[in-house]
Amino acid sequence: MSDDGSLLARIERYYATVPLLFADAEEYGTLRLFVRKEPGAPYYGGPGHAQPSGAGGVADGDIARVRARQRELGVPETFEWLAEAAPDLRERVGAAGLTVAERPLMVLDPGLPRAPQALPAAVSVRAVKADDPALPAVLALPRPAFGRDDTAGVRELAAAAEGVVADGTVEAVRPTLRGGHKRLLAAFGPDGVPLAAGHYHPAGGATEIGGVGTLPTARRQGLAAAVTTALAVDAREHGVTTVFLAYAAESVARLYARLGFRPAGVTLLIADQPARS
């Protein structure tokens, strides 16, 4: 673990801590594997991802042991770590045949006051609680938001909402919201339909904003920026001092920079990692 006072150390500690809200940890020498506590439980970082368990190198044999356990569990063979904390792991994971993606991190300037972003007329942003009737639609929104259909709208969102009710996602997430382990915010149109949404999982005074997506038919109205800013403000109001996020495209980084985020000098590496939920 890095120096306790550094930004790297705070982010590293966050990634080591927040999965334990939803999962148990199994130790495999130099690696730690997170295994969700019960089927269907809301899970941060993917259902069964591994990360280095401490400073120093990672043994090839430990990578093989973790992958064998992941196959036994029937979960993706996924690894997630900070490049600066485990500089040799990328080569070892790549040699094992896994594809590694880079996600640079940006952190919110702690001294910058956050003003709400402008919204279209009759659109509002609010938190979504465990018993909110809109919860199924908000939880389903990433499906059309990150899907391949650029024309997806209300009808597709309604179908996706039925899906997250049927597969148990909604009931699995409710306790997490009630316990304060997940905060979910959304932008709603005048008819009450969620148009954009995002979330964060606070732990130890830090959090990563994630899952910010917009319904395809509601894009280019600044809704993603409004939701991102609202999440940052909400996190600060709930005692979070280190707010960060990851990006995959430079165009997204430029948007985050306009919202007050700056490069963290830290890169998240993800090997065969599914999207967070």
Q: What is the pLDDT of residues 195-213, one digit of tens each?
A: 999 999 999 999 999 999 9
Q: How far are the Cα atoms of 14, 174, 256 from residue 251, in angstroms, in the given order?
A: 26, 34, 9
Let me know: does 196 contact 226? Beta carbons within 8 Å.
Answer: yes
Task: Tell whether 139 and 225 lie within a shared domain.
Answer: yes
Q: What is the pTM of this model?
A: 0.90
Task: Tell whether 216 and 143 lie within a shared domain.
Answer: yes
Read off the pLDDT of residues 217-258 as tens digits, 9 standing for 90 and up.
999 999 999 999 999 999 999 999 999 999 999 999 999 999
Asked, for residue 119, whether it belongs to a domain, the answer is no
Report the 10 Å Cβ neighbour count for 121.
5
What is the count of structural domains for the chain?
2
Asked, for residue 80, whether it belongs to a domain, the answer is yes
Task: Tell whether 159 and 84 lie within a shared domain.
Answer: no
* pLDDT score of 37: 76
* pLDDT score of 110: 80
Task: Tell whether 234 and 183 lie within a shared domain.
Answer: yes
Task: Tell whether 193 and 164 lie within a shared domain.
Answer: yes
Task: Tell whether 99 and 195 lie within a shared domain.
Answer: no
Task: Tell whether 214 and 130 lie within a shared domain.
Answer: yes
Least confident of 43-47, 52-56, 126-130: 43-47
Task: Tell whether 103 and 138 lie within a shared domain.
Answer: no
Asked, for residue 102, whether it belongs to a domain, the answer is yes
| pLDDT greater than 90 at residue 3 | no
How many whole angstroms separate alpha carbon 105 and alpha carbon 200? Answer: 15
Read off the pLDDT of residues 21-30 as tens digits, 9 standing for 90 and up.
888 999 999 9
Asked, for residue 61, whether it belongs to a domain, the answer is yes
Asked, for residue 33, whether it belongs to a domain, the answer is yes
Range of 91's domain? 7-107
Check which CATH number belongs to the domain holding 69 and give it.
3.40.630.30
276 vs 263, higher pLDDT: 263
Asked, for residue 101, whether it belongs to a domain, the answer is yes
* pLDDT score of 203: 94
Task: Tell whether 150 and 232 lie within a shared domain.
Answer: yes
Asked, for residue 269, whether it belongs to a domain, the answer is no
CA-CA-CA-CA torsion sign (158, 160, 166, 170): negative
Average model confidence (pLDDT) across the chain? 90
Mean pLDDT throughout 177-193? Answer: 96
* pLDDT score of 21: 85
Mean pLDDT throughout 175-195? Answer: 96
